Amino acid sequence: MAMTIKNQDEIRKMGEAGQVVALIHARIEEAIAPGMTTGELDDMARETLREAGAISSFLHYPGGHGAPPFPGHICTSVNEEIVHGIPGKRRLRDGDVVSVDVGAILAGYHGDSAWTYAVGRIPDDAAQLLRDTEEALYRAVEAATTGNRLGAVGHAVESFARRRGRGVVREYGGHGIGRQMHEEPHVPNHGNPGRGVLLRSGLTLAIEPMLTAGGEHTKTLADGWTVVTADGSIAAHFEHTVAVSPQGGRVLTPRLAPVLE
C-alpha cells in the first residue's frame, strides 16, 4: 500500500468519518459503567454506525495466523489487554480500565480513534497511566508537523513515556490511513527525530501510543486477536487520526462532549 497525500476534499471526507468515530466515543463514554458488558458497548457502536450510514473499519477484518475475521464493530481491551480485544459477554467491573478502539468508513474514507476509559473509580496509578498516555498522544500529534521526519512522532511518544517510567509497546503502532484503514507508513511509538520519511502536508496518519504500567512485551491470546501485556500490567491506548499540517497534526477525530440521550 502506497503512502498517499490527501487533498482538502479528501481530508474533509476523513473529517466526516472522524465525526462518526467521535460520536461513538462520546456515547460510549457517557454510558460506560460497572456492570455493562463489552458487547453492549459494541451494540452502541453498531447502532451509531447504522444511524450515520457508516460501517465499521474492523468488522470482518481478516485475522493473521489462522485467526477468524474480527467479529466486533469496535475493539474493547480491558486492563492488561492492550489492543484488539473482542467485545462480548465480559462484564466491566468497578476499577477496570477499558480501551475502546473505534474505526468507521464513511463515503469511502476511514477514521480511527481509540481512548481508554475508567470504569467507576480506578486506582490513582491507573488514572496516571491514562493521563500519561493521553499526553503522549498530544505530544506526538504536535510532532506531526510538515517538514518533520516521521521519527519525530515516535520520539515524542517514547521520550515522554520514558520520563514517566512507562513501558512503550513497540510491537504495534500507528499507520497511514485514508481509503484504507492501514496505509503506509507504519508509525512506530519510538524513534529518532532525524529519521524516517519526510512529513508532507496532507499525509494522514493514525497516531496511537500504547503505554503500560510495566514492561513493553506483548503476547496474543488463543482467540487470535487479543493482545495483552506479557507481564500482566495494565495498558492504555489513545489514538487520533490526524492530517499533517504546518501547525502540527490536525485532529480529524476530535473528542466531543459526552452525549446525553
3 vs 231, beta carbon nearer Mg ion: 3
Q: Minimal distance in Å, beta carbon 72 to Mg ion?
A: 12
Question: What contacts 165, CB < 8 A, 6 or more positions away?
Answer: none
97 vs 206, beta carbon nearer Mg ion: 206
For 29, 102, 202, the CA distances from 247, given in Å and listed in that order, are 29, 26, 12
Separation between Cα atoms, residue 140 and residue 145, nearest integer Å: 10
Q: Minimal distance in Å, beta carbon 121 to Mg ion?
A: 27
Separation between Cα atoms, residue 104 and residue 116, nearest integer Å: 18
The neighbour count for residue 121, using CB atoms within 10 Å, is: 11
Contact between residue 143 and residue 187 where contact means Cβ atoms under 8 Å apart: no
Q: Minimal distance in Å, beta carbon 250 to Mg ion?
A: 17
Separation between Cα atoms, residue 56 and residue 39, nearest integer Å: 15
Residue appearing with cell numbers 493514525:
206
Of 97, 175, 105, 95, which is closest to residue 134 (Cα–Cα)?
Answer: 97
129 vs 181, beta carbon nearer Mg ion: 181
Q: Indicate the residue whose CB is closest to Mg ion.
A: 206
82 vs 119, beta carbon nearer Mg ion: 82
Q: How far apart are the first and last CA of the chain?
A: 41
* Radius of gyration in angstroms for the set of CA atoms belonging to the chain, rounded to a whole number: 17
SS3 62: coil
Q: Minimal distance in Å, beta carbon 252 to Mg ion?
A: 12
Q: Minimal distance in Å, beta carbon 126 to Mg ion?
A: 21
Sheet holding 235-237, edge to edge: 167-168, 210-212, 235-237
Separation between Cα atoms, residue 85 and residue 75, nearest integer Å: 5
Q: Minimal distance in Å, beta carbon 75 to Mg ion?
A: 7
Q: Minimal distance in Å, beta carbon 245 to Mg ion?
A: 20
95 vs 182, beta carbon nearer Mg ion: 182
42 vs 112, beta carbon nearer Mg ion: 112
Residue ranges that bind Mg ion, judged by CB under 5 A: 101, 112, 114, 206, 239
80 vs 101, beta carbon nearer Mg ion: 101
